[in-house]
Amino acid sequence: MSFFNKMFASVGIGSAKVDTRLEKDRVMPGEVIRGMVLIQGGKTEQSVDDIYLSLHTTYIKEVDDKKIASTAQIDRFRLTQSFIIKENETKEIPFSFKLPLEIPLSLGRTKIWVATGLDIKNPYPQDQLHF
C-alpha cells in the first residue's frame, strides 16, 4: 500500500465502490424490500465505519407563489458495524426492511428511491494533506 494510493483513496480516487441491488423494483407500502449491497475494495485497504440505506421521495412545495420540486428523506437504515475492506476485496451484505405504511405512492412525478451511503474513515485528516 503506497502513501499515494491511500491519499488518493481519501479523496475518492481508487477508493471502494458500492452497488445496491434490489430483489424487486416495485413494492407497495408495508411490503418488505430485500436486496444486496456489493462493495468492491479499491486500490488500498480502507476502514468502513458505516453502511446505510436511506429512503427518499420527491414532493412539490410552494415558495413565493412558485411550485418547486424538493426531496426528503423518509427513513434511514444502518446495515453494518465497522469493518475493513481490503484492496480489491468484494463483500456482499444482504438486507431487508419494511416500507412504512404512510409512504407516498409513486404516481405521476412523485418518485421514491433507495440511496446507499458508505462512510469510510479518512486515514489522513484534510489539514495534514500537504504537497
Q: Look-up: residue for cell 481519501?
A: 10
Q: If you classify domain 3-122 with CATH, what class do you get? A: mainly beta
Choose between 125 and 56: higher pLDDT.
56
Residue 23: pLDDT band (50, 70, 90) is very high
Which whole number is the average pLDDT over 58-85? 88
pLDDT of residue 92: 94
- pLDDT, position 14: 55
Average pLDDT over every residue of 120-130: 51
Q: What is the per-residue pLDDT for 121?
A: 67
pLDDT of residue 29: 87
Lowest mean pLDDT across 8-12, 28-32, 47-51:
8-12
Sign of the C-alpha dihedral computed for residues 30, 76, 79 and 38 taken in this order = positive
Task: Work out whether strand 46-63 and strand 66-78 pair parallel, antiparallel, or are unpaired.
Answer: antiparallel
